[in-house]
Structure 1
Amino acid sequence: MFTGIIEAVGVVKALTPTGGDIRAHIKTGSLDLTDVKLGDSIAVNGVCLTVVELTSDGFDADVSRETLTRSAFVNLKIGSRVNLEKALMPTSRLGGHLVSGHVDGVGEVISREDNARAVQFKIRAPKTLARYIAIKGSITVDGTSLTVNAVNGNEFELTIIPHTLQGTIMETYRSGSLVNLEIDLIARYLERLLLGDKAGEVNNGAITEHFLAEHGFMR
């Protein structure tokens, strides 16, 4: 588990094809690795990766086909800057929100505008994720815990303060940038709970207006 509070910005130093997937070497910069051991988790742009080797300047992690398919990790190149966060400890402050490091989909930055000293971003999410994104709710963008300020269909807006811009890779975002999205855990599990016994049915799909009406949630 993570909090979505980025601890450092690292750099992709190597991407090595290995048996059908890849092994990534991440240079971690200012991230303190003294308490990290083999098998620990580190979120890289919001993707929970397992440390398989520690090096003098960072760590190696294997990136599966599943991760490459579901995330924007496939678009990273040698030299790409990445957000880094070590796994949450029981004594850590929960400064953001609970983040699993499991990417739900890839979004696209469609606009960027200055807003006083902050920057306003508009991001288009996959339509399948739109129902989980709510005004003043939490969303994780490339591993960063953020508050949704406005929603229009499958597009949502974020207002990013200077501190966040300087401490993450968000300063590099431009129109067309692809970003990893993770919806709020509560929204994900609430949907399953509302399905009740139907959650055990094969291909039951997501909650629909018909389902809500049938079970008295709509009139």
Structure 2
Amino acid sequence: MPTAAYMTYSQLVQRLRQLADLAPDLVRLEVIGKSRLGRDLFAVALTDEATGSALDKPAVLVDGNIHAGEVCASSAVVYWIERLVEERERDPAVRELLRTRTVYAIPRIAVDGAEVYLTTPARLRSSPHLYPHTAPPDGFVEDDVNGDGRILWMRVPAEDGAYAVDEIDPRVMRPRQPGEIGGVYYHLFPEGRVVRTSQGGARPAASSARDARLHGMDFNRNFPIRWAGESGQPGA
């Protein structure tokens, strides 16, 4: 019976396990990682094992819910899995697909963000965690602090920093590479100061820096290779 409602994480996992139990010769359910909040990230491999291993066949990958609010996409992926399971004996096209191909399906990528979206009034882009770099605080204004006539960049050592010193020219910072570990890394900040009000607090910003970092995180702007997004695109 096709799923008729948007699913919380526990409901989604329960449904995937039901489908795996319903067709053990067709459905393989695997955990391919964990979210920041410790939830398992599930992927489903579907193929007719009687005609060969999943790894030996041409394959297609479908994923859904890469953004927190795109819960309809995870329902669509689960519906496709359900159709393949339920129609494999009745539909010649489905039978041929599973006989000759492998379908890999990841119904929900933003497992933490979707849970926030479905269970609270909050709205967010992909994931409820902060960027791996530090944004300037509220009230920050770029300024020539040392009076040298230039507004440059400041580098601050940080274990989760997104930049490293360039090996050729140490005056230059280069982006940290995917999978790069074991070096010294930095956050980068523009030169400037925090402007205080007469009450001693920071001047109110148009929006909270923390909120921008929390709600702006975008999985679809952070692929490690061949991403052609413009420099400075929000969420990247």
TM-score range for the pair, normalised by the shorter chain length: under 0.3
TM-score by length of 1: 0.23
Structure with more relative contact order (C-alpha pairs < 8 Å, separation 6 or more): 1
TM-score by length of 2: 0.21
**Which is higher, the Rg of structure 1 or of structure 2?**
2
Higher share of residues assigned strand? 1
